[in-house]
Structure 1
């Protein structure tokens, strides 16, 4: 803001100052208008009906673009301020911390002159230190292995030479760390092999996509015993989640794709303070029939948390998998049926159901991470009365609503799975929904969008093996690149099949 004492006496200069001030105010108004639009977009993305409508990955992309636009506007505003008057603003968001293990390259910036105006020498009395994150693009290097040959001059007993180090791909170019990088790039970072080949080419390393595919296939073969050990470990649990998602697969004979499925079997006991490490195993199957779930679960007995897909009902037959399987169903799916109705038009009956289910979720948020006994006690005290109200609400309106109407279909769905929906009231280990396993499937869906389809049934099976191990690493806060490099190295060195369980990702955590 200008003070009267600072205004020039010259009329021309005064007019110029006024024009400049008006221009700044106009630009400020424009920025405010742009920011208001972005705030509205942000609110829509953050608080709109995303939970039942938008893809979570698309939601994240929307936020990225909005935040980028806001940063550009802030930069525009900074450009109007002279560098001398700029003040470092406090951090509005967490921009991340720089880990201690990263190497530090220090640079010291000294003043051009260390002589005081009085003629004396300046002495250091302190310093300001700042850290910035710097990135060096991926650097390729060549490991040159030399094995000298030795012979005795006094006899002819032969040549002495150290044995060649074990390699996963005999006679191949890659180290195990290189293969791990290709696997993580494809299955964790969702970079198809042809894009990876393009990236390597920019560094002067020309590798055919088929060469990378050969590395991936050989690695998948070698990792398969670890994958099998993962599934067996999961099936020894007494509480698991299961879900399935589409896996388009190329069908060369028909010149189009066919629809296979990835079946996800997951364990995550952290919400009830369980000791078993989390894990997920994907199994490819050519269809969605319940017989595939039956085959995967052979040997399992306990609680299986699923959605309302009818194919799981065959698991309840005692002669198929086992006599001790109990199905717990998902309140998120029950709520979704009602939410869809409230969006179409005013629906007070559906609204009443949604509000009661929302209260169940509020209670669950408060007890998450507690032991099963504590969770069960809280549910019996607070959740059971709400569920009893829901049962009265369900019975009352089912008798009055047309069975073929959208609301009638939603109430029928809830009634059909009522016993399984109420199972969380009798066992503190049971979750209120199936969201745990649905979260593990999201990376599969994202990879599917980038790759569009698997090239073959066998390719989909390899995809399932590697994705299972990488996602299990992520669930256990293990770096997939480091784990894969170490595991592939151990396999190449002849790790015993009888001790394959030692290679599971959560055991790698203990070694670090």
Structure 2
């Protein structure tokens, strides 16, 4: 402990010595502060460098890749990227200040689900005797959990059918085997559901599934798996047709399309086919989506699917829908597409004019968030009172700006997109059951975009149509909160003996699990 010093009692030499000591201590402190500042500056600089590097790697990992890379090269690239990201994340963790420096609590890891089976592995000392000769006493324990996985295991159902005969009349009876989706085949409904869900929901091609099955102890040829998928597709088609019929009973629908490569028969090359998606809105009681696979983007495919339907169709500005609008279908524009035109100009070219449009759209979407939980009438009144004035102001701004820009410029095209489609864009204001944009159906197309990275192309038009049918059921099941494997296993079990007149009972939005009854 430093005692107070009486400066008056010190001699001049002692005062000079004390002053020199204090100056030395101050210089040491200054050097420590300077060193700490340099360390903090280095850490922050290095963190910024690594953050930039990891951002580039993630763009390579998730962004568009060069088409010149083959599958083996792409696999090696992905392995390298994964390793680099892991290394950078570890280095970033090491550069972070210590808990004492941060002086804040670290976020806790989310506990593993309690329903998962657990195996206890005990780690105890070989001897509990202390070096002093006493016996140690256990006073507690620390527990850490790690997640493990065991490959799937095949089991066999033995259907034993007893033969019963009357000794007097020699009459023999035997209970028949329950009907199966694949008559006289070896797969259960559960195995078929696993194959279909893995292929169409988890995007695992059949050759990968065959490898997984082989590791599990049973090699199933890919041709056999393909045959099972084809037969299931045929059996499930009436259910998909029933779902399409119910979707077309809705007065408001979304529609969108996305390209899918399809192998041209006999040519060994692919050409661009299209996957069309039709779905009810998020405001509808019916949650379902139907995919339609076609070999082109021709509007005739949309007209064929919507034949006889008269309602409000939320879509983008693709011309393939225009003919339907002349046949009684009412066009609903997409505010997200209109906003995107301005956002891209502002983000990519720093357009100030485009930037001025974005607050209008932000205000409209803030209103929609407030309207999401309201009923149809309340949503209509809210839009009339709050959204309509915003649209009026937006229209006045669009008209004024259009007079100031040159034809053919990017901002002119963005302005024209909204002005030419103004009536379609504002129709949602007059109907509380109509959404503001087409984002709902774009979310339903996303599984196909993910799948393209795995299976690359559809093998044929029939294969694409089969995929569209099965994915319609799986995605609709997910929209209704069902586990797709549980749903598909149950309907594949019931379908062979289910009455055709009651097929709608098996649709995802009406389905009741027979195994849970």
TM-score normalised to the size of structure 2? 0.78
Contact 2:252 2:433 in 1 (8 A): yes
Partner of 2:32: none
1:411-463 per-position Cα deviation (integer Å, ceiling 9, x unaligned): 22211211010112111222221110001101112212211111111111101
Query: Compared with structure 1, are the counterparts of its residues 42 and 506 closer, same or farther at alpha carbon in structure 2 (3 Å cutoff)?
Result: farther
Q: By how many angstroms is 1:350 displaced?
A: 1.6
Query: Compared with structure 1, are the counterparts of its residues 467 and 31 closer, same or farther at alpha carbon in structure 2 (3 Å cutoff)?
Result: farther
Partner of 2:70: none
1:315 corresponds to 2:328: no
Q: By how many angstroms is 1:268 displaced?
A: 3.3
Partner of 1:334: 338
Contact 1:98 1:133 in 2 (8 A): no
> Mapping of 1:261-340 within 5 angstroms?
261-269=274-282, 272=283, 274=284, 276-318=285-327, 323=328, 325-340=329-344
> Mapping of 1:60-459 within 5 angstroms?
68-69=86-87, 72-73=90-91, 92=107, 95=110, 97-100=112-115, 102-105=116-119, 133-152=147-166, 154-269=167-282, 272=283, 274=284, 276-318=285-327, 323=328, 325-459=329-463
Q: 1:487 aligns with which of 486, 491, 500?
A: 491
Q: By how many angstroms is 1:475 displaced?
A: 1.3
Partner of 2:24: none
Range moving further from structure 2, 67-76 or 364-373: 67-76
Range moving further from structure 2, 500-509 or 431-440: 500-509
Q: By how many angstroms is 1:500 displaced?
A: 0.8
Partner of 2:11: none
Query: Compared with structure 1, are the counterparts of its residues 402 and 119 closer, same or farther at alpha carbon in structure 2 (3 Å cutoff)?
Result: closer
Query: Compared with structure 1, are the counterparts of its residues 247 and 409 closer, same or farther at alpha carbon in structure 2 (3 Å cutoff)?
Result: same
Contact 2:239 2:504 in 1 (8 A): yes
Could you say what secondary structure the match of 1:501 adopts? helix
Determine the C-alpha separation between the residues in 2 that align with 1:45 and 1:352. Answer: 33
Q: By how many angstroms is 1:326 displaced?
A: 1.6
Range moving further from structure 2, 227-236 or 345-354: 345-354
Determine the C-alpha separation between the residues in 2 that align with 1:121 and 1:42. Answer: 49
Determine the C-alpha separation between the residues in 1 that align with 2:105 and 2:176. Answer: 60
Range moving further from structure 2, 91-100 or 335-344: 91-100
Range moving further from structure 2, 168-177 or 237-246: 168-177
Determine the C-alpha separation between the residues in 2 that align with 1:68 and 1:234. Answer: 46
Query: Compared with structure 1, are the counterparts of its residues 237 and 166 closer, same or farther at alpha carbon in structure 2 (3 Å cutoff)?
Result: same
Contact 1:280 1:472 in 2 (8 A): yes
Could you say what secondary structure the match of 2:152 adopts? coil
Q: How many residue pairs align between the two structures? A: 457
Q: By how many angstroms is 1:69 displaced?
A: 4.9
Partner of 1:464: 468
Q: By how many angstroms is 1:110 displaced?
A: 7.8
Structure 1: tracts of 5 or more residues without a match: 1-24, 56-60
Q: By how many angstroms is 1:213 displaced?
A: 0.6
Query: Compared with structure 1, are the counterparts of its residues 110 and 507 closer, same or farther at alpha carbon in structure 2 (3 Å cutoff)?
Result: farther
Contact 2:47 2:92 in 1 (8 A): no
Query: Compared with structure 1, are the counterparts of its residues 69 and 308 closer, same or farther at alpha carbon in structure 2 (3 Å cutoff)?
Result: farther
Query: Compared with structure 1, are the counterparts of its residues 92 and 42 closer, same or farther at alpha carbon in structure 2 (3 Å cutoff)?
Result: farther
Query: Compared with structure 1, are the counterparts of its residues 68 and 214 closer, same or farther at alpha carbon in structure 2 (3 Å cutoff)?
Result: same
Query: Compared with structure 1, are the counterparts of its residues 506 and 67 closer, same or farther at alpha carbon in structure 2 (3 Å cutoff)?
Result: farther
Determine the C-alpha separation between the residues in 2 that align with 1:156 and 1:108. Answer: 67
Query: Compared with structure 1, are the counterparts of its residues 460 and 339 closer, same or farther at alpha carbon in structure 2 (3 Å cutoff)?
Result: same
Larger radius of gyration: 2
Q: By how many angstroms is 1:250 displaced?
A: 1.0
Contact 1:31 1:73 in 2 (8 A): no
Contact 1:168 1:489 in 2 (8 A): yes
Could you say what secondary structure the match of 2:511 adopts? helix
Contact 2:281 2:435 in 1 (8 A): no
Determine the C-alpha separation between the residues in 2 that align with 1:28 and 1:191. Answer: 47
1:199-241 per-position Cα deviation (integer Å, ceiling 9, x unaligned): 1122231111111111111111111111111111111111111
TM-score normalised to the size of structure 1? 0.79
Contact 2:54 2:88 in 1 (8 A): no
Root mean square deviation, CA, Å: 3.6
Query: Compared with structure 1, are the counterparts of its residues 281 and 38 closer, same or farther at alpha carbon in structure 2 (3 Å cutoff)?
Result: farther
Determine the C-alpha separation between the residues in 1 that align with 2:322 and 2:40. Answer: 63
Partner of 1:10: none
Determine the C-alpha separation between the residues in 1 that align with 2:349 and 2:89. Answer: 38
